[in-house]
């Protein structure tokens, strides 16, 4: 181990996105899929997969049908993958090491200077989590 790292402070921030899968905007996700090379019938299939309608029924009373424009199906195999596609570019322009798994985000950074740790995390949190 390098002598320089012996006195370095390591800070780790673990964040779980609240209702993360519900906040994925379909048009944004479809755009990002296109940017990754998804097109044609596969893109149409993804659009169909995301497009859902819902209503509430209590006894004989039924609400109007609401067409959703955000959220990925939870409990599915594709849900976490689609969420990661949606947030994959969150690591651009940050100084910390970032680790993403489904709706969990971990940021870590090492420095001897507490001010530097504060500065890096303040900036990175604004860019990623608070963005």
Residue 120: count of CB within 10 angstroms of its CB? 19
Q: Of all helices (H) and strands (E), which one includes residue 116?
A: helix 114-127
Per-residue pLDDT tens digits for 6-60: 556 677 776 666 677 788 889 999 999 999 999 999 999 999 999 888 899 999 9
* Three-state secondary structure call for residue 112: coil
For residue 5, what are the CA distances in angstroms to 13, 110, 117?
Answer: 20, 9, 14
Per-residue pLDDT tens digits for 74-104: 788 888 888 888 887 777 778 888 777 767 7
- Which of 111, 114, 109, 110 is CA-nearest to residue 99? 109
Q: Of all helices (H) and strands (E), which one includes residue 43?
A: helix 40-50
Q: How far apart are CA 63 and CA 41, in angstroms?
A: 33
pTM for the predicted model, two decimal places: 0.64
- Give the pLDDT score at 102: 67
């Amino acid at each position: 181990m390098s002598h320089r790292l012996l006195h370095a402070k390591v800070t780790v921030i673990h964040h779980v996105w609240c209702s993360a899968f519900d906040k994925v905007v379909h048009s944004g996700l479809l755009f990002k899929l296109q940017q990754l090379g998804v097109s044609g019938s596969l893109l149409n299939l993804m659009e169909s997969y995301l497009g859902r309608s819902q209503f509430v029924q209590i006894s004989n009373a039924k609400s109007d049908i609401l067409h959703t424009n955000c959220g990925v199906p939870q409990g599915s195999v594709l849900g976490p993958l689609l969420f990661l596609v949606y947030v994959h570019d969150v690591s651009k322009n940050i100084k910390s090491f970032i680790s993403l798994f489904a709706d969990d985000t971990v940021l870590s950074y090492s420095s001897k200077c507490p001010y530097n740790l504060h500065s890096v995390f303040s900036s990175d949190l604004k860019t990623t989590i608070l963005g």
